[in-house]
Structure 1
Amino acid sequence: MTDWIDIGAINAIPQRGARCVNTPNGKIAIFRTADDQVFAMDNRCPHKGGPLSEGIVHGASVTCPLHNWVFDLSTGTAQGADEGQVRTYPVQVMDGRILIAPDVLMEVAAE
């Protein structure tokens, strides 16, 4: 993947926080962990549609604010006894900026 799109400064997202990127087909949540890792996934919990960007980020996981389902930020897989998966997207940080591949945004828009 080349020609990554700059979607903002890493410092615009607090540690253990999230922000959203709007696409024509919905929102992608961008998460920042306490150790400055960055992850991206759909902003919708598969259980009841909760906004994951409003959940609690702990380690490399996020807990849905509606019913406490926990998802691995790198794989999107539900943890513990819960089942399901959230779609994840590749992101990278370069020179303090968060980058996402343009084909990710086009792929989401095409669905």
Structure 2
Amino acid sequence: MTTRPSPPDPRRSSMFIAILDFSTAAADRPAALAQLDRERGQVQGMPGNIAFRVYAGREDDTQITVVHEWQDEASFAGYVDSASFARSGQVLRPMMAGAPVSRRFRAELVETVG
């Protein structure tokens, strides 16, 4: 059973978003995705996590994107300092074909529709 992330508190409209893009060899992508899947529940259970989504690129069989939504930068910093982040780094970094790119944003929620 998959649980949906809790929606942000409508009284608190700001959040912190991190988007990580990296590539692997085509043969390594399934293992990289599996590592991220193993950590998903741990990350989603961390204080301040709103969402943790992993996407396999559709342009080719090497791209991976991870989208994080956090209540604030401090929550994201807690994730970066976590055992989960360290474990993933140990597994993923040797598989990366080049340097990863992490873009981080302070965002304001305008509305949630649906």
Same fold (TM over 0.5): no
Q: Which has the larger radius of gyration?
A: 2
More helix by share: 2
